[in-house]
Chain A
């Protein structure tokens, strides 16, 4: 089975080398494609030196556009199994078997690694926790199944899910909206507990006001997404 790891990265020259190395060490059979999302540093070069396929976007598309580029690559190259892994080193390749498990067993089309499903480990500020909890509740209600981590980019997908996301993938908040899309398209979603590293550099300094703004935008995107016409993945021409 041809499998590939998609790693979106924006100016991650410090971390990307280690991420690629870890993925390749985890499984030498696993191909790696790094999508450099308009990086202005050496992200693309470093990734290529470490033996990853590199797709370099001409300008920054944002996380959704970058990840979809990876999906399109995997789709065109005929991969059957895809894992998604962030380029900042937050996701631990050694945890991959956990997300791969349900997909390999044919029990899920998409498996999402959750920081919260297992209980302990991941700490963040109070406002963020409330926001995460609220989003999880809303998505759980829409999905009619319990989800705990709606912002996790640590995922495994089979070919069916890949077909869908290569054709249509949400741009702004792809993890949250992607979950809803998954359900709407009647794909099977499974959440599995995983460990993640805490972010090393304090880039994600989200204030209370920002969190509220973020929530408003995500919720809008979510509800708009519910009414949006569904794009059916076209057969490859």
Chain B
């Protein structure tokens, strides 16, 4: 049985799209709209997608390992989806931390205001 390969057009289109993603990420980092720290996952996502899209032999081999027989580019979807989930999870942790810090800041601000106004009342 011959496993189906990745059509050239699909490979080209996917590579192009992945490169655009990488370019956008680079531009966002360069213009300081995205911190390197949060960009890392996106860069890895972009690089992995570019490699898998352009390297058809590799994609076909990986599809073979995973038992994807009909349509190797499906692996691209799976990998893309996995990274999207990772990025979202990462954001949840970032948001949680920001929310915690926000609470601490609000509390500290309120306590300082109280201390200040009570000191002013005394003097």
Task: Check A28 for interface membership: any CB of B closer than 8 A.
Answer: no
7 residue pairs A–B, Cβ–Cβ below 8 Å:
A53-B114, A54-B114, A58-B106, A61-B103, A65-B107, A73-B111, A171-B103
Task: Check A76 for interface membership: any CB of B closer than 8 A.
Answer: yes
A56 to B110, CA, bound (A): 6
List chain B residues, Cβ under 8 A from A35. Answer: 110
- The majority secondary structure among interface residues of chain B is helix
Q: Report, as a range, how many residues of chain B touch the other chain.
A: under 10
List chain B residues, Cβ under 8 A from A72. Answer: 107, 111
Task: Check B120 for interface membership: any CB of A closer than 8 A.
Answer: no
Task: Check B85 for interface membership: any CB of A closer than 8 A.
Answer: no
Chain B 110-123 against A: per-residue CB contact (8 Å), 1 yes, 0 no? Answer: 11011000100000
Residues of A in contact (CB 8 Å), total 16
A54 to B111, CA, bound (A): 9
By a beta-carbon cutoff of 8 Å, the part of chain B in contact with chain A is 103, 106-107, 109-111, 113-114, 118
By a beta-carbon cutoff of 8 Å, the part of chain A in contact with chain B is 35, 53-59, 61, 65, 68-69, 72-73, 76, 171
Is the beta-carbon distance between A57 and B110 smaller than 8 angstroms?
Answer: yes
- Least distance between A176 CB and chain B CB atoms (Å): 19
- The majority secondary structure among interface residues of chain A is mixed
Is the beta-carbon distance between B106 and A55 smaller than 8 angstroms?
Answer: no
Is the beta-carbon distance between B113 and A69 smaller than 8 angstroms?
Answer: no
Is the beta-carbon distance between B118 and A53 smaller than 8 angstroms?
Answer: yes
* Other A-B pairs, 13, CB within 8 Å; known A53-B118, A57-B106: A35-B110, A55-B110, A55-B111, A56-B114, A58-B106, A58-B110, A59-B106, A61-B106, A65-B107, A68-B107, A69-B111, A73-B111, A76-B111
Is the beta-carbon distance between B103 and A65 smaller than 8 angstroms?
Answer: yes
List chain A residues, Cβ under 8 A from B107. Answer: 57, 61, 65, 68-69, 72
A14 to B109, CA, bound (A): 26
Nearest 5 A/B pairs, CB to CB: A69-B107, A55-B114, A57-B110, A55-B110, A65-B103
Residue of chain A at shortest CB distance from B115? A76
Is the beta-carbon distance between A58 and B114 smaller than 8 angstroms?
Answer: no
Residue of chain B at shortest CB distance from A56? B110
